[in-house]
């Protein structure tokens, strides 16, 4: 897909709400969004390469129910970049060396898109389906990343923690949420891309997390980004070097 087309499709997802100025009347409410951040040519080329690979593999196996290129960019890349924009909002954050774990990664969303947005993160994609894990390894190879890896097993068996854990469109949501929370390092952040009807249940199950208000995802009637932070007092597991993963 042409880079200009990709840039136009993801633009609505790359604006972020500004914090309210102290002198503004709260009754006037609306947080004004900052202008969308433009992706670099390198980022757009990475999205294009990843999209081409996904479309080819999707013709042979069910990586995504969305089949057309525009739909994949809007539904998958847009939503994932929206999460990335809020997890790493500042320019210096885009070079963050934080560890990121994507639980039940599937076709690589939001994990691979977060890595495209914030190139410095050390990314682990957890995916127990072996065919999908093979696709993810090929995507990492195609994008030429040395600090990204696939754990081809169940998330409860992953032997480490991370500063950021993401969860999107997984089966057995309640069980997966508990596992994702245990993968958080102290003060780590959990990012959930879920339906608005799941927000209350997520907050009930994750009572140990400090939750931010859910953020509506652009161009969606019911999808939201819900982020919570773990206490700094939680015990930590040793960090895992992604280069040692299978």
The DSSP secondary-structure symbol of 137 reads H
Q: How many domains, the chain?
A: 1
- Cβ burial of 62 (10 Å; 0-12, 13-18, 19+) is exposed
**Can you give the CATH number for the domain in which 174 is found?**
3.40.50.150
d(CA 224, CA 82): 10
Cβ(163)–Cβ(189) under 8 Å? Answer: yes
Give the best-scoring range by mean pLDDT among 11-20, 35-44, 143-152: 143-152
Question: Largest Cα–Cα distance of the chain, in whole Å?
Answer: 56
pLDDT tens-digit series, residues 17-57: 644 333 444 444 444 556 778 899 999 999 999 999 999 99
Triad 63, 220, 67: Cα angle to 5°: 25
Residue 57 tokens read as 């593999």
Q: Domain containing 94: what range? A: 3-244
Which band of pLDDT confidence, cut at 50, 70 and 90, is reported for residue 217?
A: very high
What's the predicted TM-score (pTM) here?
0.87
Question: Which tens digits make up the pLDDT trace of 70-113?
Answer: 999 999 999 999 999 999 987 666 667 799 999 999 999 999 99
């Amino acid at each position: 897909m042409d880079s200009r087309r990709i840039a136009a499709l993801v633009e609505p997802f790359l604006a972020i709400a500004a914090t309210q100025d102290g002198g503004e009347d709260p009754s006037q409410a609306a947080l004004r969004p900052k202008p969308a951040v433009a992706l670099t040519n390198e980022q757009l080329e990475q999205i294009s390469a990843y999209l081409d690979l996904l479309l080819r593999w999707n013709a042979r196996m069910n990586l995504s129910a969305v089949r057309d290129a525009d739909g994949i960019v809007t539904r998958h890349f847009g939503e994932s970049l929206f999460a990335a924009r809020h997890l790493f909002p500042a320019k210096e954050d885009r070079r963050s060396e934080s560890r990121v774990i994507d639980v039940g990664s599937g076709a690589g969303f939001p994990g691979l898109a977060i890595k495209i947005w914030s190139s410095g993160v050390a990314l682990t994609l957890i995916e127990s389906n072996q065919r999908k894990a093979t696709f993810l390894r090929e995507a990492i190879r195609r994008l030429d990343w040395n600090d990204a890896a696939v754990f081809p097993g169940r998330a409860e068996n992953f032997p480490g923690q991370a500063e950021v854990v993401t969860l999107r469109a997984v089966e057995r949501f309640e069980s997966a949420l508990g596992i994702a929370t245990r993968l958080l390092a102290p003060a780590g952040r959990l990012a959930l891309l879920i339906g608005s009807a799941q927000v209350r249940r997520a907050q009930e199950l994750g009572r140990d997390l400090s939750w931010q208000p859910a953020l509506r995802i652009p161009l969606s009637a019911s999808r939201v980004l819900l982020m919570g932070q773990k206490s700094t007092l939680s015990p930590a597991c040793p960090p895992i070097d992604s280069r040692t993963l299978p």
